Amino acid sequence: MADEKFQVIVIGAGLAGSAAAYQLAKAGREVLLVDRGKGPGAKNMTGGRIYTYALKKLLGDEWQEAPLEREVTREMMMMMTPQTSVAIDSTFSSVNQQSYTVLRSKLDAWLAAKAEDAGAMMIPASTVDTFLMRDGKVCGVKIGDEELEADLVISAEGVNSLVAERSGIIKPLELKNIALGIKHIVQLPEAVINERFNTVSDVGTAMLCVGECTKGISGGAFLYTNKNSISLGMVVDSLSWKNAKLPVADIAEALKHHPSISRYIEGGEVIEYSAHLIPEGGISALPQLFADGVMIAGDAAGLVVNSGFTVRGMDYAILSGIAAAETANEAIDAGDYSRNMLKGYETRLQQSVLKDMHTFKNAHDYMAHTRQVFTTYPMLAADLMRNIYGVDGTPAKRVLGVARETVADKISYFDVFKDMVKGARSL
């Protein structure tokens, strides 16, 4: 016997869940938001850069009140060998508010509070065990002995989507479609960060590294400057990591001591260390997005793109929360919660998130299977720079000659060409 009935129950107060709950509450719906954490975002993790267009779409001008850290105006891409690094360092003078560094504990708590202010009911510290099912349709959730009924459920429970898995609506993720992320938050005074990154307050740097930072395992490292901390971590492809047989905690620790990184975090205190999975399988690994009485949003639906240059999941989580709420509103107006009615959710996603996922459909495979991007090429880049700038009194050569000499014996020109063409088609 059910104790209470809502129009919509949202599982998970991450960005996808709180976005959906906010939008539904604004439309005057009776919505319940349930999260297993003590507070929303308490354990949620990300690398650290959010693209703000999705927040604008959800909140209008109020997005400017969001507790974001620094606006990213400097982008660094770095190839690393054990001692050397070669970087492209771009500083954009025009401030366009497109992306900010972010700490999830602050942003998630703020967005969930917005949903509550709009009228959503929030239950923290409660783990949903299963969907409540009747005649093969989802009609609520079970939390321990308690049964809560709803016309619709939105599952936004993140990458470990156990509730949706237990119901058989989605299958467990395969190892080949998962990446593992590790992150340190290193606290430093704001003035020290400004000085080290040659910047002023509120202006931030996003750095992406490949090569030695993951010990050559397919993946990359990231560094984001927050107001008074630095988010430093890495993401590695699970299968490549398993095959490399290296303890991932050791790789993350070594990253902190690499000469190209240690100078930025020197003297800082690690105030947080966390690990999290990322569903990186892309569009070919997409699960069922809806069934009778339920829609799946955010990481639970695998809505993440790692384009090689940036990881995007937070903006897609928000967009999918909005799409699920819009579809729920239509379904409530029609009094129809069938899968046929909920098709509108996928149609909405096809106009945004799924388009991008289609564009980058080969990115994950390219990175997982082109090992030399993480091994040989960083070493070649470092050798090339050393050879171009090294002067030892022997007859000088033009750049092309230096490049030929650098590449010779290390990799065939044909392989370089193949990797470049494949990369251009995938990333």
3-state secondary structure of 75: strand
Burial class (CB in 10 A: 0-12, 13-18, 19+), 48: buried
**Beta carbon of residue 375, minimum distance to ligand FAD (angstroms, whole number):** 22
58 in the Ramachandran plot: left (φ > 0), alpha (ψ -120 to 50) or beta? alpha
Contact letters (x/-) for ligand FAD, 304-323, by CB under 6 A? x------xxxxx-x------
Residues 6+ apart with CB under 8 A from 376: 410, 411
Nearest CA to 122 out of 24, 44, 195, 194 is that of: 24
**Beta carbon of residue 313, minimum distance to ligand FAD (angstroms, whole number):** 2
190 vs 212: CA distance, rounded Å: 28
Would you report the helix, strand and coil content of the chain in percent, each value rounded to 5?
Answer: 40, 25, 30
Residue 69 or 383 having the CB closest to ligand FAD: 69
- What tokens appear for 252 in the block? 């993350």
- Note whether 237 binds ligand FAD by CB under 6 A: no
Residue 48 or 268 having the CB closest to ligand FAD: 48
- Note whether 193 binds ligand FAD by CB under 6 A: no
The amino acid that residue 239 corresponds to is: L
Residue 185 or 382 having the CB closest to ligand FAD: 185
The amino acid that residue 258 corresponds to is: H
Q: Which stretch binds ligand FAD (CB under 6 A): 35-43, 208-216, 281-289, 364-372?
A: 35-43
Cα angle, residue 171 at apex, residues 14 and 320 outer, rounded to 5° = 35
**Beta carbon of residue 221, minimum distance to ligand FAD (angstroms, whole number):** 10
- Note whether 34 binds ligand FAD by CB under 6 A: yes
Q: Report the site for ligand FAD in 139-158 (rule: CB under 6 A).
A: 156-158
**Beta carbon of residue 126, minimum distance to ligand FAD (angstroms, whole number):** 6
**Beta carbon of residue 159, minimum distance to ligand FAD (angstroms, whole number):** 6
Q: Report the site for ligand FAD in 106-135 (rule: CB under 6 A).
A: 127-128
Residue count at the site for ligand FAD (CB under 6 A)?
Answer: 40
- Note whether 13 binds ligand FAD by CB under 6 A: yes
Report the residue from 10, 23, 59, 181 that binds ligand FAD according to the rule CB under 6 A.
181
- Note whether 11 binds ligand FAD by CB under 6 A: yes
Residue 221 or 331 having the CB closest to ligand FAD: 221
- Note whether 276 binds ligand FAD by CB under 6 A: yes
The full DSSP string for 194-225 is: HHHTT--TTEEEEEEEEEGGGTT-SEEEEEEE
Residues facing 183 on adjacent strands: 233, 274
Residues 6+ apart with CB under 8 A from 131: 138, 140, 141, 142, 153, 163, 164, 166, 167, 294
Residue ranges in contact with ligand FAD by CB under 6 A: 11-17, 34-37, 43-50, 127-128, 156-158, 163, 181, 183, 233, 235, 276, 278, 298-299, 304, 311-315, 317
